[in-house]
Amino acid sequence: MKIGVVSDSHDHGAPLAAAVARARDWGAQAILHCGDIIGPNTLQSTLAVGLPLHVVHGNNLGDMLRMLRMAQDSNGALVYYGADASFGLAGRRLFMTHYPHLARGMACTGDFDAVFCGHSHIARIESVAGARGSTPLINPGTVAGIGAEATMVLGDLETLSFQIIPLDSSAP
């Protein structure tokens, strides 16, 4: 299963929707958003792209109650986990949080096939040694280009391979 990974959209709906459409065109079947969406309205055009969206909230919380209602009314198109998420996709065990230090700790446990975070606005993919081998730790940077280049990550859960995509490039 191919996925798109984004973070730190900070109420910038247009670049978020464009990144999700790009992931869909690449073949992604789901999107992970590692937090700092802020307002649920930011997701309206993104949900229209038609990919399931898995979301944690981050440190810029926005309207959490409305986000919960939006998820409940989405018929599974939006899954809102709150502060962090431990879930399965395509037979893989995944963990997602907004905070890199928490993500690193969870990657060290060896309990997950991949761990995702945001917050720093700096895209980074690394392998973290842990209790049961190594775990990919993925930070997609900021999809909105706030304080850093706008980036996202495209990934393949079957092969556990991930690639940082500058959003102004012509890469996949």
Are 110 and 135 within 8 A, CB to CB?
yes
What is the C-alpha to C-alpha distance for residues 34 and 88, in angstroms, rounded to an integer?
16
pLDDT the model gives residue 170:
47
% pLDDT > 70, the chain: 98
pTM over 0.85: yes
pLDDT the model gives residue 142:
98
- Report residue 26: phi and psi, to 5°: -75, -20
What is the C-alpha to C-alpha distance for residues 34 and 153, in angstroms, rounded to an integer?
11
DSSP element (H, E) containing 22:
helix 13-26
DSSP element (H, E) containing 25:
helix 13-26
Are 1 and 26 within 8 A, CB to CB?
no
State both tokens at 18.
Answer: 């464009």
What is the C-alpha to C-alpha distance for residues 38 and 25, in angstroms, rounded to an integer?
26
What is the C-alpha to C-alpha distance for residues 11 and 86, in angstroms, rounded to an integer?
25
What is the C-alpha to C-alpha distance for residues 85 and 42, in angstroms, rounded to an integer?
21
pLDDT tens, 128-153?
998 889 999 999 999 999 999 999 99
Residue 172 in this model has a pLDDT that exceeds 80: no
Domains contained in the chain, CATH given: 2-166 (3.60.21.10)
Sheet strands (E) in the chain: 2-6, 30-33, 53-55, 78-80, 84-89, 92-97, 114-116, 123-130, 133-140, 151-156, 161-166
pLDDT band at 62 (very low <50, low <70, confident <90, very high): confident
Share the mean pLDDT of the chain.
95
- Report residue 59: phi and psi, to 5°: -90, -15
Residue 87 in this model has a pLDDT that exceeds 50: yes
